């Protein structure tokens, strides 16, 4: 058996047991696929991890950067109370339209908002609105901007908030200090920022599974 087949089998086992799909999640992936969106959503067990982390945070307000079809958004949204709020930023209007449909089907349209545009611009506009701090920020868009997204996340959160950065391993490419890949450089810069910033305490974890070999970083905002 190949290594990746083994990873898939273990993910299937964990997911069936601990993060089973339901009609709403299945339909979200089906409609995303039918609309031609790439299958780069988080895996089900990773979505469940996002939900658990949001619940452990006692999160009432979540910010997501990179919506795609709203699959991770549904997991995060389900962690929120009825008066919670979730904003998710998406560059591609087609992706955003699919996500809005998926969020409505999930009954999350009342507490969630998909904002279309380049996230750096959407973040600046959001900051102008002087919002209440976000309890959790999930960064999962264009990796080249990851350090900027971490900086914005710091501005829009409070001590105790959690910042999560997806896809920090990308098959191991992250260890190359001379990489010319803008995504790798962006992610390395974000990790260095987490390591040096006086208001952040973080770590990073490698993952294997149905989405290949990758990982995520977690950072807590300090007082």
Question: What x-and-dash track marks residues 8-47 binding ligand DHB by CB under 6 A?
Answer: --------------------------------x-------
Q: Smallest distance from the beta carbon of 135 to ligand SAH, in angstroms? A: 18
Helices assigned H by DSSP within the chain: 3-18, 23-34, 44-57, 71-77, 93-105, 119-128, 146-155, 182-196
Q: Which of 15, 49, 62, 89 binds ligand SAH (CB under 6 A)?
A: 89
Q: Which of 119, 136, 194, 221 binds ligand SAH (CB under 6 A)?
A: 119
Q: Is 60 or 63 the residue whose CB approaches Mg ion more closely?
A: 63
Q: Does 90 bind ligand SAH (CB under 6 A)?
A: yes
Q: Is 66 or 101 the residue whose CB approaches ligand DHB more closely?
A: 66
Question: 69: Cβ–Cβ under 8 A, 6 or more apart, which residues?
Answer: 28, 29, 31, 32, 35, 37, 41, 95, 98, 99, 102
Stretch that binds ligand SAH, among 16-24, 62-70, 124-132, 177-185 (CB under 6 A): 62-70
Give the separation between CA 75 and CA 98, rounded to whole angstroms.
16
Among the listed residues 106, 34, 25, 29, the one whose alpha carbon sits nearest the alpha carbon of residue 69: 29
Q: Which of 146, 166, 202, 215 binds Mg ion (CB under 5 A)?
A: 166
């Amino acid at each position: 058996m190949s290594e990746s087949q083994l990873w898939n089998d273990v993910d299937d086992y964990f997911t069936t047991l601990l993060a089973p799909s339901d009609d709403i999640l299945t339909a979200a992936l089906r409609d995303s696929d039918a609309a031609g969106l790439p299958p780069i959503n988080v895996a089900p067990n990773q979505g469940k991890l996002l939900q658990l982390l949001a619940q452990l945070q006692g999160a009432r307000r979540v910010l997501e950067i990179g919506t795609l079809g709203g699959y991770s958004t549904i997991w995060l949204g389900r962690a929120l109370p009825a008066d919670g709020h979730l904003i998710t930023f998406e560059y591609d209007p087609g992706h955003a339209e699919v996500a809005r449909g998926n969020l409505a089907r999930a009954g999350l349209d009342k507490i969630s908002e998909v904002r279309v545009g380049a996230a750096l611009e959407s973040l600046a506009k959001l900051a102008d609105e002087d919002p209440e701090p976000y309890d959790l920020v999930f960064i999962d868009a264009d990796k080249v901007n990851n350090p900027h997204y971490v900086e914005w996340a710091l501005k829009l959160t409070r001590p105790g908030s959690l910042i999560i950065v997806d896809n920090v391993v990308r098959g191991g490419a992250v260890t190359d200090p001379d990489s010319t890949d803008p995504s790798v450089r962006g992610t390395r810069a974000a990790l260095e920022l987490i390591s040096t910033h006086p208001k952040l305490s973080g770590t990073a974890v490698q993952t294997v599974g149905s989405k290949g070999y990758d990982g995520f970083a977690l950072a807590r905002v300090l007082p």
